[in-house]
Amino acid sequence: MTIWILALLCLALAALAGWRQGGIRAAISFGAILIAALLATLVGKLFSWLLPLLGVTNPITLWAVSPICGFALVLMLIKIAAQNVHKKVEVFYRYQAGDLRLTLWERMNSRLGICVGLLNGTAYFILISFVIFQLAYLTSQTAVAANQPLLTRLVNQAGADLQSTGMSRAAAAVATLPPMFYQLADTSGFLMQNPQAAPRLVDYPGLASLWERDEMQPLVQDSSLTNAIATGASVNSVLNLPSVQDFLNNKKLSQSVWGIVQTNYADITNYLATGKSKFDSEKIIGHWEFNPAVTFAWMRQDRARMTSKELLALRTWVYQSYAQTRLMLTGDNQVFIRSLPSVRTGSGQQLPTTDLNNWKGDWSNDGKTYTFHVTFESEEKFLTGTTEGIRLTVKDGRNTYIFDKVE
């Protein structure tokens, strides 16, 4: 029903405009609509550069608004040219052709304007249907909450009417957006409809290092974002969250994340659906938890001459100091070691103290042994590791550390 109302409005308004403008301007306007639609994306690139200067920095808004501005600019310029052509013809009939020919021309011009105006209305209706079709492709999948905004409900209803009336075929035939738009719409819809799959995205090996970046922490630690996704909030509500806005406005960071997502997109979608990824063959990738019992057993073998009292002190120190130690290795060859103990020698009468430091770096694999290069402030370490998939053995010179994989 909404589609037929929209069609009647477009035709009625365009016919009225054609009657007022006349056949010349209406005919040129019809060509202008076609040319503007073809050049909208190209001219829109100009606005993607100008709009940020006017304060529009949201990349999603820029992507959506720039082609519309490009379409409007081309349409306006051609309509200005149409006005000049109409003026010249009007001056001829008004001052040179005589009253009878002027009357006949005005009647023909207005009636022809109505006919051509109907063509303009049809063109506008198809273009509007194209916009509705693309918006509905996204909103119909992501609008899972009951309290959706009025505009979203209208777009969804119009999209459903497009489908039921068959006008969706005409809308889809106008043009297609980049394939990544449809892919991201499908993924967004999957996450909104299956909020339990969102934590799986956090654990994806190819993205794991992103969540460790300092500039990503406001987004990662934002509980309101987590709650919004878990409760199936509208896309508009999610995008308007301060942490999401800050992320989108950080062009360098958002482009970096976007590049990683594009590179691994097919694998990300498969991982969300099945829990399997292309990184599964690399056994070392994942989260590892320190195993104090086995580590102490290794240390005890290397310290055969220690007394029972010294062994007890060592055991107590290992269990207490390494209680929070965690190791994470990501698909992009990054290493993150959390709460790694470091003994700091006291000066004078002061006793030695243990600091818990966070180290990060990169890892490589020569086919048999893994090599970790990690740094903390000005210090650096080179560690080696081996694993069969469940247990990881890391060697730091004399010491051997054992980690168990966290599933």
Residue 351 has pLDDT above 50, yes or no: no
Same domain, 208 and 83: no
For the chain, what percentages of helix, strand and coil (3-state, to nearest 5) are there? 65, 15, 20
pLDDT at 326: 92
The two tokens of residue 168 are: 């969706």
pLDDT above 90 coverage of the chain, percent: 22
Same domain, 96 and 168: yes
pLDDT at 211: 80
**pLDDT tens digit sequence for 103-136:** 888 899 889 999 999 999 999 999 999 999 988 8
- The mean-pLDDT minimum among 85-89, 187-191, 219-223, 402-406 falls in 219-223
Higher pLDDT residue, 398 or 107? 107
**pLDDT band at 146, cuts 50/70/90?**
low
Phi, psi of 376 (to 5 degrees): -145, 115
Domain-ending residue, one of 142, 162, 177: 177
Same domain, 112 and 219: no
Domain-ending residue, one of 232, 255, 279: 279
**pLDDT tens digit sequence for 253-292:** 777 788 888 888 888 888 888 888 888 888 888 899 999 9
Same domain, 17 and 165: yes
Same domain, 187 and 157: no
- Number of independent structural domains in the chain: 3
- Domain assignment of residue 192, given as a range: 180-279
Same domain, 60 and 168: yes
The two tokens of residue 258 are: 């976007």
Mean pLDDT of the chain: 84
Residue 233 has pLDDT above 70, yes or no: no
Instruction: Sort 26 into a burial class: Cβ within 10 Å, 0-12 / 13-18 / 19+.
Output: buried
Domain-ending residue, one of 127, 147, 177: 177
Residue 345 has pLDDT above 80, yes or no: no
Same domain, 55 and 172: yes
Same domain, 47 and 138: yes
Task: Give the span between the Cα atoms of 108 and 110, in whole angstroms.
Answer: 6
Same domain, 66 and 193: no
Same domain, 132 and 75: yes
Same domain, 64 and 159: yes
Same domain, 170 and 220: no
Contact between 286 and 329 (Cβ < 8 Å): yes
pLDDT at 336: 92
Contact between 45 and 66 (Cβ < 8 Å): yes
Instruction: CATH number of the domain at 373, please.
Output: 2.40.128
Instruction: Sort 162 into a burial class: Cβ within 10 Å, 0-12 / 13-18 / 19+.
Output: buried
CB neighbour burial string for 327-343, b if at least 16 within 10 angstroms, e if fewer: bbbbbbebbbbbbbbee
pTM confidence score: 0.70
DSSP-derived 3-state class of residue 380:
strand
